[in-house]
Amino acid sequence: MDAEDIIALVFHKAWINWSKTIARKKILNEKELEKWKKLWVSFDKLGEKQKEKYRKFAKEIINLLAENKYIITFIDK
């Protein structure tokens, strides 16, 4: 898994937590809730279109880090 997908995965997990909080508050109508429930899956089970939405945010984070002279390195475990 590359840096982009790792960051995208974190965004997705955060969205799941946030969306479940919203769902518990019963702010959504039933149709919206059902749509969200379909996305309450692990990142690897999302469709490519949905993954790309998260990757777009991940790219923004990576670019912002690079612009500010941060480097992402990987350590092989």
What is the model's pLDDT at position 77? 65
| Structure tokens that stand for 29 in this block | 């109508």
Among 72, 13, 71, CA closest to 45? 13
Query: 10-residue block means of pLDDT along the chain (77 residues)?
Result: 93 97 88 93 97 96 92 75
Q: What is the pTM of this model?
A: 0.84
